[in-house]
Amino acid sequence: MTQEIEAIRERPVAAGATTLGRDEDDASGVLDPPWNELRTQAHRAVDALVDAMAEPRALARWRAVPAEARRRIRAPFDARGIGLSASMDAVLRDVLPYPSGNADPRFWGWVFGSGVPAAILGDLVAAGMNSNNFSIEQSAAHVELAVVDWLKDLVGYPAASAGLMVGGGSIANLTGLAVARDARAHAGRRTDPAHRADARYRLYASDQTHSSIDKALHLLGLGKSSLRTIPVDAEFRIDLDALERALADDRRAGLLPFAVVGNAGTVNTGAIDPLDDLADIAAREGAWLHVDAAIGAAAMLTDAGRTLLHGIGRSHSIAVDLHKWLYMPYECSAVLVREGERQRETFGGRADYLANAMGGTAGGPFPFNEFGLQLSRGDKALKAWLALRAHGTEPFAATIAGNLRQAAYLAARVRDEPRLELMAPVPLCVVCFRYRAGETLDAAAEDALNRGILVALQERGIAVPSSTVVGGRFVLRVCITNHRTRTHDLDALVEAVLRLGRELLDDAPALFGARTHQSVGR
């Protein structure tokens, strides 16, 4: 051994660091626990998770993390650690008991999927395999291709189209619009370093479109002024006449329409834009049609969904969230692009250290890194692959169809109650409604009353809807993307809203401006 190597080995260890052994590989085993201990703690974790999933109604639907648990979670990390067993104790005590609650049958907040147990095993295996799925030959690459191929078939895209698993609908929208920008608004951008964004380009989307579209335009250098917001009709779908007028006005003004966004289930109300008509308009204008189907794409498994989303396969790109209505654990989303070569033109690049090979490790089946922003990519597909292999597609279709029926049922219950008001049509799985106090309250006080009902529902552990604003009014928003929900859960929600509305008016009439008990129609 040379004197230089020996000097490195004899160098003093930094203060506070663990002294390593003098093995040939100095770091060997430092971060690997005794394997029997790992097995024991893994069994504890799996047992606790299975217990929680098997009896979701036995746990709190949601509760805030107590101050003491927050303090322990956020305490500084010990230099020498506390050991695997004690760390798992902390997880079971301070972390697992305080989830978002979306495993519970009465969690209907935002658009959270409820988590298919089989898919959780896929996530466990994926984490253990620790795949970086960019372009090398490995099982994770073929798993992702299988899931993407299934999604392409689901929405009616040709086999030659491209796709990529991503973290969520926001990233899927950003990816799709990046391709749209280069295909329609920035031709030659990557080969001409002097090319600059043209301020005349415009994208058209309804005023119900997800906020990620606005963010994407900003990040893509097009500026928020490039978004032309179009009003909606009585069913919260993009107003086609208003869109046609905006296009004509912009053309006369010398502006350049480059893309249209269609919604296959808006986040506010679940509204579905007329996708066939948008495809016709985009074709006429030479514009790119991107469909945000983060919520609605899974409905394509049902007869009703295929009717509602007719025309989705004519789009140029689609955002899909499997962790919403396909019930997968987070994160599990995809972006699909009909003209795959366009996607590679936007995200492809040359790097000697990433060169594909005819064989060996670098001879992978697909260069995922050339179709999206990320080079380092975990395996987001195995959870979906395992769940679809285990159950087949029919149970997913049946459950989604059941959620559609449940949403229609809740809407009917709301219509039948004089003290409740349905605030939007229910084409998919989103039901927006509010409690009405009649003429007793003005608009602001009635909004405050409904806020109080929402908070009481959540904090008392009755149910977890979320909220939004429809027609300028605060509403309770129930999104049924939960495979555990039953009809009696929806009945319990309706009864609780009616009861809480009466209680709040009784307990705080001055706060809400109620005049008398009789005036609220008890």
Measured distance CA(430)–CA(478) in Å, rounded: 6
Nearest to 339 by CA among 204, 182, 145, 221: 182
Q: What is the pLDDT of residue 261?
A: 98
Q: What is the pLDDT of residue 319?
A: 98
Spatial neighbors of 2 by CB under 8 A, at least 6 apart, are none
- Coil, helix or strand at residue 490: helix
Cβ burial, residue 122 (10 Å; 0-12/13-18/19+): buried
Q: What is the pLDDT of residue 361?
A: 83
Measured distance CA(240)–CA(242) in Å, rounded: 5
- At 248, give phi and psi (nearest 5°): -65, -45
- Coil, helix or strand at residue 203: strand
- Coil, helix or strand at residue 174: helix
Start-to-end CA span in the chain (Å): 91
Helices 382-391 and 394-416: angle between axes, nearest 10 degrees: 90
105's enclosing H/E stretch is none
310's enclosing H/E stretch is none
**DSSP string of 31-75, one letter each residue:** SPPPHHHHHHHHHHHHHHHHHHHH-GGGS-S--PPPHHHHHHHTS
Reported pTM: 0.91
Measured distance CA(388)–CA(170) in Å, rounded: 24
384's enclosing H/E stretch is helix 382-391
Q: What is the pLDDT of residue 244?
A: 98
Domains and CATH numbers, the chain: 23-54+63-98 (no CATH), 131-189+196-351+368-391 (3.40.640.10), 395-520 (3.90.1150.170)
Q: What is the pLDDT of residue 363?
A: 80
Quote the tokens at residue 118.
């089989």
- At 149, give phi and psi (nearest 5°): -60, -40
Mean pLDDT by 10 residues, the chain (522 residues): 61 50 56 94 95 76 90 95 96 94 94 95 95 92 97 97 97 97 74 64 97 95 93 98 98 96 98 98 98 98 98 98 97 97 92 75 88 94 98 98 98 98 98 92 95 96 96 97 97 98 84 47 32
Measured distance CA(486)–CA(202) in Å, rounded: 45
